[in-house]
Structure 1
Amino acid sequence: MEIIHTPKIAQKQSKMSIIVSVVLIVLLVGSVYISQLIFQEIAQSFNINILEARLVFSLSCFCYAISFFIYGPLSDRISTRPLVIFGCIGTIFCLGISGFVQSFKLYLFIMSLTGFFAASVPAALFAYTAKTTPNKQLPKMMGLMISASIVGIIFSRSFIAMLTDSCSWQFAFIIYAALIFCTCLLIPYSIKKNAANNQKLGIIQTYLNATQLLLHKNIIVFLLVGFILFFIYLGISSFLTIYLKGAPFYLSSTTLGWLNFAGISAVIGATITGKLSQSIQGNKLLIICLLCVSASIIIIGLSSNLISITIGIFSLFLSVFGVQPIIISILNQTVTMMSRGTISSLYLLACLAGGSIGTYLLGLVYEKQNWNGIIITCIILSLANIVLAFWGTKLRQIAKK
């Protein structure tokens, strides 16, 4: 007997799909960032230096970033539901066993796999949202997905930090895996079986098309802007944790978790610039936001009290994620409609690779120059990024002519 879906039933299914997609993105994106506020506790568990513990995030984030190049093109060839289930099961397994391993090297490998599995979920759901949303509602829905990613970063770090203080990071990871598992149970009822768009296109050709985009000068420039931006943002975020746990602040993981909520400004930044771009030229808005990034770093670096640092964190998240809609819009206007899914994945790859490499290289700076060395390095990079973005906008203007 054929089931007839009334408009009300279809509307409920659509809302269910949106809710489950948002929750999955929050949890799976967050799973990559859960170690950022608990480096000290991880270091104590494995009896290693706290700077070695930062590799947990660096490798996880790097694998997460690289995986977008794998899953981005695949999301046009494989149905969404299998990709999402694959990523969720893999992430649950990795988080579940991570607390039982005794070797730090094995722990690094497992957390790197977490990044690999987690990436399939946002990659698949971003593509799914683009395919199932009417064009008029698409900007709003994609903004919702980006906001979910930001909330995932903030929620996971704070949630894990607070649980770690009250119990242990091992227990916190199991609870986080349980949250993903419970959400997984709703996937069959919310995410429809959709057909892939490019099943006729060979897998090799799919990746060749993605690689060819990297030969475009304008694309490379703006991918570099995103790379440097996240090199600074995630690098500072990681070492700010170590800085605030030492003299003269001596903050606990719980306090850092609450402080991390200042990052909710990222949602505000993405929303504001999305609206401002309709009245202010995108090129000008990009430069303004990047100037604000430099100012935020200076505020954080010169602050001697927690209130000033909180203002700096709020401003940094606001400006860094305020840049995202602008650059994504510029890149989408540079490529054809058929390549927009791939270019989004390439941009996410550039940003996350920048964050991963930044966390590692700034660790070398921290070993020799401490916190002040990191701040000076980031200020120099942020100013260089402004110059790079300005050059990119000039190239766009020349290309249009």
Structure 2
Amino acid sequence: MVSETPSSRLQLIVFALVSASFANVYITQPVLPVLQQEFGADMVTVSLTVSAVILGMALSNLPFGSLADRLSIKPIILTGGLMVALCSIAAALVHDLRMLIATRFVQGIFIPALTTCLAAYLARTLPVERLSIVMGSYVSATVLGGLGGRLLGGWVHPPLHWRYAFISAAAFILAATIAAIRGLPPDRQHGKTLSSTTGYLALLRRRELWGFFFCAAGSFSIFSSVFNYLPFRLTGSPFHFPTGVITLLYLSYIVGIFMGPTAGRFSNRHGSGKTLITGSLVLGLSLGIIMLPFIAAVVCGLLGVCAGFFAVHASAVGALNRRLSGGQGRANALYVLFYYLGGWGGITLSGFAYTHWGWNGVVLLCLLLVIVPLTAGIGEMNYRKRRMLQSSGK
């Protein structure tokens, strides 16, 4: 049984598999200018090496969520781990940008086999008191995995040898997959959750949940756009930074490890609405700071963007689940679907904005998108006030 597995061992397995999975997503992000030169392509096209992965994850998230309810976890993880590793090896070997983008898209399709399915397995097999602890490792792994992939692609390996980063990522994902296959307890609960009456369409008919879904899309669109086009900004005037220095700025991402729990405590005390509004305002202020042509402003702006984004993200997820009396798995799968569609759309639209209006065009687009989580926060505050009035009326 899962409940009999030592907590530290299970946390380590979860942390390793999730972080290795997310490391594959962002490998090319810090070396996009290098890819642009190597393949002789424009920045929008080379950015597809990141957004194609995110699109693949978005499209396969719901199907894999359904498979996780029907099949045992180990065959799913084994298939996903092998496919992600094979795509990493293929990405290291191809010499055509279109093939690189295609392999990244296929890689994205199989990453939810290692992340969404693992989360579903944990949710249905762990007791409540252990689930929150192990899922804490899960969330931290998504943050460190994203950071690790960026460091792997732009700092650990010399940028001009970005192909080696894919080989390393393949080795990491294979090791984590083997550890999960050997270390995860048998999944005896699969197939027992199919009687749930709350389907995807029923959840989408609940208009009060739309704000959280759009909040996921809008906030991740901002976050992805800033970090995806930051290398182009910093390699140009007035900075002219090398890739290694640019990659180190991604360390600001680590703010997410601390901001998630902090936002949760703030929400418990002041409400999710105020947390969403505060996070949105921090995002907007930080985007204004990051436009200034000074490295200190860029660093402060990145830290603020990370703090605001993770505050919004953690608060929206918590508020969504508090609204539900059933169908939590499917509701969270929908949230992730909107989340990654927002990331893909943000990167794509910001690419055109950068092409026509430069870095300021990207930031202005992101400032416009801040309206989405801000509106969701106002809606959540109004909802809470109505509930309090109804309670006092009784």
TM-score, normalized by length of structure 2?
0.92
Tell whether the 8 Å contact from 1:22 to 1:145 is kept in structure 2 after alignment: yes
Match of 1:387 in 2: 375
Alignment gaps of 5+ in structure 1: none
TM-aligned CA deviation for residue 98 of structure 1: 1.2
Alignment-derived partner of residue 31 in structure 2: 38
Counterpart pick for 1:291 among 281, 284, 287:
281
Aligned pairs (5 A) from 1:157-168: 157-165=150-158, 168=161
Instruction: Give the whole-Å Cα distance in 1 for the aligned partners of 2:140 and 2:217.
Output: 20
- Whether 1:217 and 2:210 are equivalent positions in the alignment is no
Deviation at 1:393, TM superposition (A): 3.9
Deviation string, structure 1 residues 82-105 (Cα, Å, up to 9, x no partner): 111111100000000112223222
> Is contact 1:20-1:183 (8 Å) kept?
yes
Who is 2:164 aligned against?
Answer: 171
**CA positional deviation for 1:261:** 0.6
Counterpart selection for 2:139 from 135, 146, 156 = 146
Q: State which drifts further: 99-108 or 291-300.
A: 99-108
In the alignment, structure 1 residue 243 sits paired with structure 2 residue 233 = yes
Alignment gaps of 5+ in structure 2 = none
Mapping 1:313-392, distance limit 5 Å: 313-337=302-326, 339-392=327-380
- Give 1:201's match in structure 2, choosing from 188, 194, 199: 194
In structure 2, what residue type is equivalent to 1:347?
Answer: Y
2-side partners of 1:187 and 1:162: how far apart? 28
Once the two structures are overlaid, the 10-residue window that deviates more, 87-96 or 292-301, is 292-301
Alignment counterpart, residue 312 of structure 1, candidates 296, 301, 304? 301
Q: Which amino acid aligns with 1:53?
A: V
Distance change (3 Å), C-alpha of 1:45 and 1:285: same
- Is contact 1:32-1:64 (8 Å) kept? no
CA distance in 2 between partners of 1:167 and 1:387 (Å): 43
Q: CA deviation at 1:384?
A: 4.7
In structure 2, C-alpha distance between the alignment counterparts of 1:371 and 1:50, rounded to whole Å: 12
Q: Counterpart of 2:277 in structure 1: which amino acid?
A: I
Q: Which residue in the other structure is 1:271 paired with?
A: 261
What's the offset of the Cα at 1:276?
2.2
Q: Aligned-pair distance for 1:187?
A: 2.2
Other-structure match for 2:88: 95
Aligned to 1:189: 182
93-102 vs 14-23, which moves further: 14-23
* Counterpart position of 2:128: 135
Alignment partner, residue 119 of structure 1:
112
CA distance in 2, matches of 1:200, 1:293: 39
The whole-number CA distance in structure 2 between the counterparts of 1:348 and 1:156 is 20
The 4+ residue runs of structure 1 with deviation greater than 6 A are: none
Matched letter for residue 328 of structure 1: V
- TM-score, reference length from structure 1: 0.90
Measured after TM superposition, the shift of residue 181 of structure 1 is 1.5
State which of 242, 248, 251 in structure 2 corresponds to 1:252.
242
**Pairwise CA RMSD:** 2.2
Does the 8 A contact of 1:54 with 1:359 survive in 2? yes
Count of paired positions: 388
1:332 alignment partner AA: N
Paired residue secondary structure (1:234):
helix
Q: Deviations over 1:95-143 (max 9, x none)?
A: 0011222322222111101111112111112122223332123333323
Q: Check the 8 A contact 1:22/1:148 in 2, yes or no.
A: yes
Q: SS where residue 194 of structure 1 aligns?
A: coil
Cα deviation, 1:322-358, whole Å, max 9, x if unaligned, reads 2222211211122233x11111111111111101110
Amino acid at match of 2:300: I
Tell me how far apart the structure 1 counterparts of residues 311 and 133 of structure 2 sit (CA, whole Å): 15
Distance 1:384 1:17 in 2: 37
Asked if the contact 1:226/1:350 (under 8 Å) is kept, the reply is yes
Question: Partners in 1 of 2:181 and 2:215 — Cα distance?
Answer: 39
1:133 aligned partner, one-letter code: L
Q: Do 1:222 and 1:389's aligned partners in 2 also have CA atoms closer than 8 Å?
A: no
Q: Distance in 1 between matches of 2:169 and 2:249?
A: 20
Aligned-pair CA distance for 1:178: 1.0
Does the C-alpha gap of structure 1 residues 241 and 309 become closer, same or farther in structure 2, counting only changes over 3 Å? same
Contact preservation (8 Å) 2:286, 2:304: yes
Contact 1:269 1:318 in 2 (8 A): yes
- Tell me the distance in 2 between the aligned counterparts of 1:187 and 1:139: 19
Q: Offset at 1:397?
A: 5.0
